[in-house]
C-alpha cells in the first residue's frame, strides 16, 4: 500500500477585462505570480513533481516554483487546460451584449447549450477525467497540479461521482483564484481517493502584491 498527495492549485487572477478565459493565453501579473509563489512555498508542501496546464497563467507560475527548487520535476499536460469557449473565448463581456441571451442559456444549462464553436461540456469532462486518471496511474510522488477552476471542478466531479452536467458545479462550488484543493490517493489493488479540502485560498501578503 502507498499513499500520494495531489495538490490542485488554481492560477491567480488574470490581467484582462471580465470575460470567459478558456484557451485564450492571458497572463497573471508578475507581482501576483511572485506573491502566489511565495505563499505556496510558505506552506512547505512535500511535493516532488509539478504538472501544469501549458497556458501561461499556470505555466509561468510552475516555472517560478520549479526555479526555487530545481529537484522538482516539471511537466506540461494539454489535457488540464480550461474549457475552450469557442467564439466567445477571451472576448470581454462588454463586447458581447448582443450575445447575452446565448451566454445566459450556457450558464443555466451548460451541457445542453454549448457556445458557438466551443468545446462541449461533455468533451471537456472526458478530456480532464482521462488526463486525471493518467496522472494518478503514473504518479511516482506527491504532485502539485497548477490548472484552472473548470478543470478542478471536473476532477472533483469525477472523484466524487457527481453529475458533470450539473450547472451547480460552476454556480455554487467556489474554486477561487489562487486556491488549493487537496486530494489523497491510496493505492492497493484499486485506487481509493479522499478529498481532504476544496478551494482553500492561499494567504497572500499585501506587501507581496
Closest CA to 47 of 123, 140, 147, 175: 140
Q: Please identify which residue in the block is written with the cell numbers 466531479.
A: 157
Q: Are 139 and 6 in contact (CB under 8 A)?
A: yes
DSSP string, 92-156: BGGG-GGGHHHHHHHHH-TTT-PPTTPPPHHHHHHHHHHHHHHHHHH--S-EEEEE-HHHHHHHH
Global pTM reads 0.96
Residues of the chain with pLDDT under 70: 206-209
Per the structure block, which three cell numbers stand in for 99? 450575445
CA 198 to CA 183: how far, in whole Å?
Answer: 9
First to last CA, the chain: 43
Q: Please identify which residue in the block is written with the cell numbers 493505492.
A: 187
What was the pLDDT predicted at 209?
Answer: 41
What was the pLDDT predicted at 205?
Answer: 77
Q: Hey, what CATH class is 2-208 in?
A: alpha beta
Amino acid at each position: 500500500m502507498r499513499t500520494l498527495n495531489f495538490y490542485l492549485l488554481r492560477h491567480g487572477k488574470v490581467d484582462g477585462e471580465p470575460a470567459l478565459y478558456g484557451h485564450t493565453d492571458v497572463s497573471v501579473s508578475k507581482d501576483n505570480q511572485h506573491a502566489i509563489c511565495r505563499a505556496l512555498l510558505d506552506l512547505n508542501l512535500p511535493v516532488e513533481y509539478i504538472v501544469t496546464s501549458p497556458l501561461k497563467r499556470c505555466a509561468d507560475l510552475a516555472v517560478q516554483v520549479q526555479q526555487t527548487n530545481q529537484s522538482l520535476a516539471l511537466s506540461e499536460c494539454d489535457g488540464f487546460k480550461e474549457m475552450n469557449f469557442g467564439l466567445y473565448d477571451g472576448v470581454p463581456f462588454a463586447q458581447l451584449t448582443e450575445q447575452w441571451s446565448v451566454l445566459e442559456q450556457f450558464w443555466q444549462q451548460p451541457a445542453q447549450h454549448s457556445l458557438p464553436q466551443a468545446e462541449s461540456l461533455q468533451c471537456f469532462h472526458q478530456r480532464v477525467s482521462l488526463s486525471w486518471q493518467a496522472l494518478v496511474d503514473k504518479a511516482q510522488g506527491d504532485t502539485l497540479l497548477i490548472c484552472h477552476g473548470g478543470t478542478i471542478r471536473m476532477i472533483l466531479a469525477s472523484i466524487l461521482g457527481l453529475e458533470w452536467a450539473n450547472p451547480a458545479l460552476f454556480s455554487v462550488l467556489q474554486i477561487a483564484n489562487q486556491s488549493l484543493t487537496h486530494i489523497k490517493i491510496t493505492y492497493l489493488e484499486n485506487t481509493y481517493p479522499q478529498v481532504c479540502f476544496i478551494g482553500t485560498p492561499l494567504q497572500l501578503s499585501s506587501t507581496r502584491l
